[in-house]
Chains A and B, each alone.
Chain A
Amino acid sequence: MSADELCHLTIGDAAPLLHDGRLSPVELTEAFLARIERLNPTLHAYVLVTAERARADAERAEAEIKAGHYRGPLHGIPIALKDLYDTAGFPTTACSHVHVNRVPTEDAETTARLAAAGAVLLGKLTTHEFAFGGPSWDLPTPPARNPWNTEHFTGGSSSGSGSATAAGLAMATLGSDTAGSIRMPAFFCGVTGLKPTYGLVSRRGVTPLAYSLDHCGPLTWTVADCALMMNVLAGHDPRDPASADVALPDYAAALDGDIAGKRIGLIRHFYDGDTDAAEPVKTAMAAATATFEDLGATVEEVTLPALQDFHACNFVIMLAEAYAIHQKSLRETPELYGEILRDRMMMASLLSGLDYVQALRMRTRLKAAVDALFTRHDFLITAGGWAPAPRLQTMPKFYVFENPLITSPFNVSGHPAICVCNGFSPEGLPVGMQIVGRPFDDAGVLGIAAAYERATPYREARPTVD
């Protein structure tokens, strides 16, 4: 197997090889480091490559496995983190000049969990500034590029996570999602991105954008790899005030189930009504609906409040909470911010306490509307976005204010939502579908996503970068 072929293994492929000694963690890690060195100057997915740390992690994993101390499916697996996740001794900058010299002394809870599972840390990944300002060319590092066509956008804010996962520059990555920042890069880059139920994965040690909307979760090539990541990431963290103390299933054990008889609600109006999505998105959703019916599920169209209501609720809360975080440094050192984030945050200063509380009251209504659908349906599906990735260029600074993201409703409601690839445009750019479940039924979401993935061919081809 060539070095590049090693980089296109899934975790599910590599783990048994590592366990049995047929693949060395050191060899695997060196293959990824070489590929990163070759392709990152084009893709800009990494802002920091922790090569020495990665080699040390890999050597430790190899020694432990040889000694019979196999920790589990992530042991020896090369992963990377969005540059919001604290890494003790390594910079965590949020891709901002504001934090350019910030070196945490403690790992984020999620960083520590991955290390304890034996994962190999390859480095830190590009993000929009503080997960909200981008794509920008006035930050310490340039925006990431889409491996399916490097002239195109990755989506954000977990831009490096989407790019690296698709390009085989890490077997799994972590992103964060406040309005869609895991699922949008998954949509644009053709990978799998899970926004878990709010409270299921710790946010502690992850630079916040908006406390009540932030979710941490994995991006991987396959649904099965996402489940393997969740087996390590999910769990109560008493030091995260929003962390839920709930019983945890084996997420990887939920993937082989039969979905016959499952009741699926299709939220068509989010992409065909409230917005008018591009034809590849509509075509892919129609085909996905037919696939679920072929698998024995029933699909019925359902209606929620307008996407624009979810968007307004999401954005008023997000802007207000983000401004509370950035107010002091925005007053004292505005020149350290990128122009996009700086001006968006200045706009946020105009929101009032009344605006924020009314948005939170609206949130209660909107969550109830989503919950109500789950009395008659097991899962909901809708598009992940409106159109394949646009060209990467300077975007209007405030386009996010008036263009509702189809992902944002489930940040408002907190329900688990995964984005999986469900087709390609005629130009070869991927599109994706969201699958949404009841709170804390992340295993069910992964199960139905895995069934869809098995029934479709979209995991067969990787992007060709070089």
Chain B
Amino acid sequence: MASDPRRNRRALTQGGLEKQMVNTMPGKGNDMTIEEFRRRLAAEGLKPDEAALKEMYDALPMLQAMRARVHGDYDMAEEPASTFNARLGL
């Protein structure tokens, strides 16, 4: 997992708020249609209005980029950081 600037870096635009927008995690496009997206939210009991739905759908690649990064090639013995600790649980 060494840092690879070529993979991560993107030029900043200049000035103001735009200067804060690093956008170093570009998504690769949506892997579901907006109708599937609507159904997934509805299954969770969530019913956004159309404008919010479209805005969230457009942002979905950013979430997918984060999900892709955490899906590493883990060995079976690699345990999550939350492994239960009986001493702490008492």
Contacts and interface: CB of A to CB of B under 8 A. Distances in A.
25 contacts: A212-B81, A269-B3, A273-B3, A274-B5, A275-B24, A304-B3, A306-B3, A308-B25, A331-B46, A343-B55, A346-B46, A349-B46, A350-B60, A358-B71, A360-B81, A361-B74, A361-B79, A386-B12, A387-B20, A391-B17, A401-B66, A402-B65, A403-B21, A403-B22, A403-B23
B51 to A, nearest CB: 10
Contacts of B22: 275-276, 386, 402-404
B44 interface: yes
A363 B81 contact: yes
Interface of A: 212, 241-242, 269, 273-276, 278, 303-309, 311-313, 315-316, 327, 330-331, 334, 339, 342-343, 346-347, 349-351, 354-355, 357-367, 369, 386-387, 390-391, 393, 395-399, 401-404
B67 A273 contact: no
Interface of B: 1-5, 7-12, 16-17, 19-27, 40-41, 44-48, 52, 55-56, 59-60, 62-63, 65-67, 69-72, 74, 78-82, 88-89
B24 A399 contact: no
A358 B73 CA distance: 10
B62 A402 contact: yes
B48 A343 contact: yes
Contacts of B62: 398, 401-402
Given A305-B2, A331-B45, A393-B17, A347 B59 contact: yes
Contact of B20 (A312, A313, A390): A390
Contacts of A354: 71
Given A347-B59, A359-B70, A362-B70, A269 B5 contact: yes
The listed residue with most B CB atoms (<10 A of its CB), out of A241, A303, A404, is A404
Given A306-B1, A306-B8, A402-B26, 13 more contacts: A273-B3, A273-B9, A275-B22, A307-B24, A311-B25, A311-B66, A316-B66, A343-B55, A347-B56, A369-B1, A390-B20, A398-B56, A401-B63
Nearest to B25: A402
B80 A360 contact: yes
Contacts of A242: 88
A427 to B, nearest CB: 11
The listed residue with most B CB atoms (<10 A of its CB), out of A212, A275, A311, A391, is A275
Contacts of B70: 312-313, 316, 355, 358-359, 362
Contacts of A275: 8-9, 12, 22, 24
Given A307-B3, A390-B16, A276 B81 contact: no
Given A346-B46, A393-B17, A402 B79 contact: no
Contact of B56 (A308, A343, A396, A403): A343
A342 B55 CA distance: 12
6 smallest A-B Cβ distances: which pairs?
Answer: A360-B80, A312-B69, A305-B1, A401-B62, A398-B59, A363-B81
A351 B63 CA distance: 9
A334 B46 contact: yes
Given A303-B3, A346-B56, A403-B20, A363 B63 contact: no
Contacts of A355: 67, 70-71
B20 A399 contact: yes
Contacts of B45: 331
Given A334-B46, A350-B63, A403-B23, A276 B9 contact: yes
Given A331-B46, A347-B59, A399 B5 contact: no
A305 B72 CA distance: 13
A362 B72 contact: yes
Contacts of B80: 357, 360-361, 363-364
Contacts of A303: 2-3
A129 to B, nearest CB: 16
A273 B46 contact: no
A387 B25 CA distance: 18
Contacts of A330: 46
B66 A387 contact: no
